[in-house]
A = this chain, B = another copy of it.
Amino acid sequence: MKPALRLPVEAIAPGLHPLPPEAAAYATRVHRLGPGDPVVLFDPDRALEADAEIVEVGRRAVTVQVGALRPAARRPGREVTLLQGVGKGDKLDAIVRDATELGATRIVPVLCERSVARPDAARAARWRRIAVEAARQCGRGDAPVIAPPSSFAAAAREAASGDALRICLDPAADGPIGPSLAALGGRAVILMVGPEGGLTVDELAVAEAAGFTRVTLGQLVLRTETVCAAVLGAVLALAGP
């Protein structure tokens, strides 16, 4: 039996409610669901979910009967922050998707010296939609927070406090990432990845001053979008979810 379709709905509550237009269209037009069909609603901000049943498909609204709320079954067990240098074009779209699947809980687009794009509010809203859609697809009951784009200095400053493993990927670093991850335990992870062209010498110095350890992942020069998936995969594999 196929599992019930999952639909992201902000501020879900038990009882009879109309689905938001996007979820309604997706359930009834794409998946051809109708009255009596079960769905699972999840609230990506609060990490809550609920079983629900479609009770009416009207011309203007799709009404569901929502059951009791429960904590989302599957969500990351660790705080993982990705400080991602903003690159060209839509690279960050793919990175947000990968990072959501691989358990990032907070994504900060960072404007670096070598960042070309300067994302606007529409772009940030798009990343949010991508994260929620990726959460739906991979069965995750929450979505990562997408922070507003930040300057490099502000991102480093914000990352400097609290107990966390701080790692900064730098192909020119002396040491590999393995030993840092092996010593991770249950701690939070803050991962800094530069844009295409990498971080500058000045940025690397700021990162080190903020407590980041510079490490490599092998000896090859990876694309920025590959780094994210590879390192988050390593965090999942080495240290559990």
Contact = CB atoms under 8 A, between A and B. Distances in A.
Interface in A213-241: 217-223, 226, 229-234, 236-241
A201 to B, nearest CB: 15
B223 A101 contact: yes
Interface residues of A, number: 34
A120 B137 CA distance: 30
Nearest to A178: B237
- Assembly stoichiometry (copies): 2
B98 A226 contact: yes
Nearest to A171: B139
Interface of A: 74, 98, 101-103, 137-140, 176-178, 181-182, 217-223, 226, 229-234, 236-241
Nearest to A227: B233
Contact of A139 (B102, B138, B182, B221): B221
Given A226-B102, A238-B238, A240-B178, A138 B221 contact: yes
A220 B74 contact: yes
A220 B103 contact: yes
Contacts of A231: 233, 237
A180 B230 CA distance: 17
A239 B234 CA distance: 10
Nearest to A241: B218
B222 A138 contact: yes
Given A138-B220, A232-B233, 16 more contacts: A98-B226, A101-B222, A101-B223, A102-B218, A102-B226, A103-B218, A103-B220, A139-B219, A176-B237, A176-B240, A217-B236, A231-B237, A233-B234, A234-B236, A237-B238, A238-B238
Given A101-B226, A102-B226, A137 B221 contact: yes
